[in-house]
Homo-oligomer: A and B are copies of this chain.
Amino acid sequence: METDCSALRVNSARLRADFDALAEIGATVGGGVSRLALSNEDLEARSWFADRIEEAGLQVKDDEVGNLSGLLPAEDAQAKTLMIGSHLDTVPNGGRYDGAIGVLAALECLRRIKEAGLKPRYHLEAINFTDEEGTWKSLFGSNAIIGKISANDISDSLHDNMAFRAALYRAGIMLPELGNARRKAETVLGFLELHIEQGKTLHDRQCDIGIVDRIVGRTTYNVAFYGEAAHAGTTTAEERHDALQGAAAFIIGAHKRVSEEFSEGVVNCGYVSVTPDSFNVVPAEASLRVEFRHPDTATLDDMEARLIALAEDCARAYRLEVAMERVMHRAAERMSGYLVRQIESACRAEGVRCMSIASYSGHNAQIMNQMVPAGMIFLPSVDGISHNPREFTEWRHIEMGANVLLRTIMQLAV
């Protein structure tokens, strides 16, 4: 059977019905979604996704870290697999689009190809990765696929992962088998991910599609300032060793320094805790979690050095001690040039306005890119709002993106 591939389009109404149904799972009062990885809501979403896969006549595949896929096999059982997908989990009270669109569009592409009676040259796999957002361990599912997760990572040697282990166990994920989720690079053709931008570059430039050429690197630190508890009334300003003042100066200084010295960088302090956390005691300890990102790995390292120096300056200025612990580091990634060109070509064929763009958020594509060529398609986020119930992408852009994704898959694998 011969088909005019260029005539193939996603079923937008069906995709939208899926989107609306999924958004109900873990829906929050303000129109957002809470589907934290391995929560009841996440497990319900996976079960719902498995039902959709079966309904479509695709094969359900469930690996050793809980990644859940729908498979459309090639005739040649030895063929490589083109993986397409994203994640169904969300941050607490996040948006409905982040992750969900990429999984649902992948499923829809496979459904259309199957419905059209096409025989792909490569196995096609629409995948939902476990815990992209880092409720437990950021980008857990994709890291497992490239062989970077083993039972040891969830041991208690450094961090208390007891609750994580319990959550995995409850989801039917067995610790000793985690390592078996690893795929051999030679079995995978590549990876494609459709995702909302979560920034406002595309929205501001009125561009329909972003083709991701770089993904930011990211480093996370725990920064703890240690001063001395003292009576809030009787201790003069000169006598204080106020840990919270040091932390406050660091927060202000980090944002200022990054804005002034690293135009492509961003920094966030989103977490702070104070000991003894009593209004009438001078804070003895103030701990921050600081994370910073840059699309260039060497510059990211410079930022790290500058922020360490800043923390030391703040400690000195307020007569404190400071301890810094690097919690996470992920190098910046350059995406596959081959896939960038394939997606460009699909955009041209679809007649949509596209541009190259750097991603300031981490994605499964960034992890998969360490093993196989990975490509990423961004959709405009209205006003750049994300990780927020008001996250919104126009449906016409979702439809365009899904069709660009479908066309890219056709070019590569059908």
Contacts and interface: CB of A to CB of B under 8 A. Distances in A.
Given A231-B198, A233-B293, A274 B271 contact: yes
Contacts of A91: 276, 278, 280-281
In this complex, the member of A200, A252, A381 whose beta carbon has the largest number of chain B beta carbons within 10 angstroms is A252
Interface stretch (A175-183, A234-242, A334-342): A234-242
A15 interface: no
A237 B256 CA distance: 9
A403 to B, nearest CB: 24
Contact of A291 (B93, B232, B249, B386): B232
A199 B237 CA distance: 12
Nearest to A381: B234
Contacts of A239: 200, 384
A258 B236 CA distance: 11
Contacts of A88: none
Contact of A281 (B258, B381, B387): B387
A197 interface: yes
A174 to B, nearest CB: 28
Contacts of A277: 270-272
Given A91-B280, A278-B92, A385 B270 contact: no
B230 A388 contact: yes
Contacts of A364: none
Contacts of A278: 91-92, 270-271
Contacts of A216: 233
Contact of A231 (B199, B236, B252): B199
Nearest to A362: B233
A266 B282 CA distance: 11
Contacts of A274: 270-272
A230 B276 contact: no
A359 B233 CA distance: 9
Nearest to A291: B279
A300 to B, nearest CB: 12
A386 B231 CA distance: 5
B276 A280 contact: no
Interface string A126-151: 00000001100000000000000000
Contacts of A242: 255
A65 B247 CA distance: 40
A269 interface: yes
B291 A268 contact: no
A230 B272 contact: no
A245 B237 contact: no
A279 B290 CA distance: 7
Given A274-B271, A277-B271, A279-B270, A259 B230 contact: no
A157 to B, nearest CB: 22
B272 A199 contact: no
A286 B255 CA distance: 17
A370 interface: no
A283 interface: yes
A270 B280 CA distance: 6
A248 interface: yes
Interface of A: 91-93, 133-134, 197-200, 216, 218, 220, 228-237, 239, 242, 244-245, 247-249, 251-252, 255, 258-259, 266, 268-272, 274, 276-283, 289-291, 293, 359-362, 381, 384-388
Q: Give 10 nearest A-B pairs by CB, closest first.
A: A199-B234, A232-B268, A279-B289, A248-B248, A248-B251, A233-B360, A198-B234, A231-B386, A234-B360, A233-B361
Given A197-B234, A244-B270, A279-B290, 7 more contacts: A199-B234, A230-B384, A231-B360, A231-B388, A234-B381, A268-B281, A270-B279
